[in-house]
Chains A and B, each alone.
Chain A
Amino acid sequence: MSLPAYLPVLFLVILSTLFAAGSMFVASKLSPAKWTAAKVEPYECGIEPQEGGVPGGERFPVKFYLLAMLFIIFDIETVFLYPWAVAYDELKVFGLIEMLVFVAILVAAYVYVWRKGALEWAE
């Protein structure tokens, strides 16, 4: 089959996007639209919204940012493991030891992060 492997995936993207957009369009034609001032207030258990009022106007703990940084490190590590995992047969013991060294370096970083308390959530 000379078909590019990603063409069916592209078809699936188009089909599912069309389905989603289409059903939203149909729903917008079928549904009533009686907006009132109270109805379009952001949800706040019935009281007036206190702060924000624009997307991203709220605050959240910086802890999540730290977590995102850690995620990048370990996710890239995962990505590096995959090529080795497929080709480790040809790399033999040399590849194994190389990968052990690579993982050992990351484990050192992981232990550091753990000891620093970056993985602790409850204070």
Chain B
Amino acid sequence: MSGLIDAIGPAVIIALVKVLVTFVMLLGITLLVVWAERKIIADMQSRVGPNRWGPFGLLQTLADGIKLFFKEDFRPRTADRWTYAIAPIATMVPAFLAFAVVPFGNEVTIAGHPINFIVSDLNIGILYFLAMGSLGVYGIVLAGWASGSKYPLLGAIRSSAQLISYEIALGLSLVPIALVAHSLSTLDIVGAQAGTIRNVTFFDGIPVLEQVANIFRYVPNWYIWSQWPAFAIFLVAGIAETNRPPFDLPEAETELVQGFSTEYGGIRFAMFYLGEYIHVVVISAMAVTLFFGGWSGPGFDFLPWLWPLFWFFFKTALFVYLFVWLRATLPRLRYDRLMWLGWKRLIPAALLWIMVTAVVNTEGVSRNVRLGVFAALFLLVLAVVLRGDPRLKEAVTPQRRRTQGRLSRGAA
């Protein structure tokens, strides 16, 4: 055995084991997430949810998956044979790949080899994550096109338009993170968020607040505090990228009968489903990594390697819960509203936030310029809010009523 390890090299063995562990872990997480989603939604709708297979119905997803292996796997007469077969794989594989840059635990040393809980620490981690998200579009487009049928094609065209629209906002929302972290590597970004907030000098000299500011010594140094606008854009665009409600236009059952996957059944459909859930996990994990300090959290002497893993999965689970919660709460967006949100709100907001972050963080920009930027930003937000919300507008100028034309243009 040691001869084999020497021949291939321990690094390759470590890489293989990491890949295998991550892959199996993702499959396991998917089983759990599907089960959790069904249970949570059932609970929110006063139902019981799956409760037959295993304790609390935990094995329900596994049973469903096995059942799908035995389902007839026919293909429409009009389908393009090979493209039709490849499309589910092309959707699923990038979802798995995107997880490769997510660090899910602190470094440990096993048999003298330092091992990071990350498949590969690429120096362009964020770009890689965005690229894998983009590749997922191919699977959907190919699936819709190859089916040779009306609804899948319409669904695929629509969803590709949705995905590329929100991809811009997603990409722009992560530029400020690269600005403040000076790196695109996810390990560096998690490292930059380690510890707690220190050196808060803003309240120095003010009697009571000076004491209160001490509380910052216990607040973790996460990017969410300074980068919450970027996080808001990231979250909305991320949910849109996963095709989850309220952005599940690609599979709008009521109008497109499942959209791009209408003609898919059996195990091929399971691949699309698997890809979607992996994507949910990846977006949640990325939100945790980039904005919530990744695996950092209070550790204890008992099993020191376990706590980072625990904190990472705990935070990720909270985000997955948010995804489920949104599905149970919000209705699906209308298509023109979807495009309006992506192109006319998220993209300008993301661009603006990049510029604000850059101006505030660049060395050599005077304090007056920074204050001016904040004042201008505040006025702009105020103007947008007052112009955008009819109720606020009415509150400011009560005699002006909302007009019908304004409503139908959807400018509110």
Contacts and interface: CB of A to CB of B under 8 A. Distances in A.
Interface in A95-123: 95-96, 99-100, 103, 107, 110, 114, 119-122
Contacts of A49: 78, 149-150
Interface in B129-155: 145-151, 153-154
Interface in A1-43: 1-3, 5-9, 11-13, 15-17, 19-21, 23-24, 26-28, 30-35, 39-43
B175 to A, nearest CB: 5
A87 to B, nearest CB: 8
Contacts of A58: 150, 153-154
A62 to B, nearest CB: 11
B71 interface: yes
Contacts, number: 227
| B interface majority secondary structure | helix
Given A27-B267, A82-B184, A89-B363, A12 B78 contact: no
B19 A12 contact: yes
A23 B148 contact: no
Interface string A50-83: 0011111110100010011001001100110110
Contacts of A7: 12, 15, 120
Nearest to B156: A60
Nearest to A57: B148
B178 A85 contact: yes
The size bracket of the interface on B is 35 or more
Contacts of B69: 23, 26-27, 30-31
A9 B160 CA distance: 25
Interface residues of A, number: 72
A52 B149 contact: yes
Contacts of A56: 145, 148, 153
Given A8-B19, A12-B19, A60-B154, A85 B359 contact: no
Contacts of A89: 182, 363
Given A20-B92, A92-B364, A9 B150 contact: no
B16 interface: yes
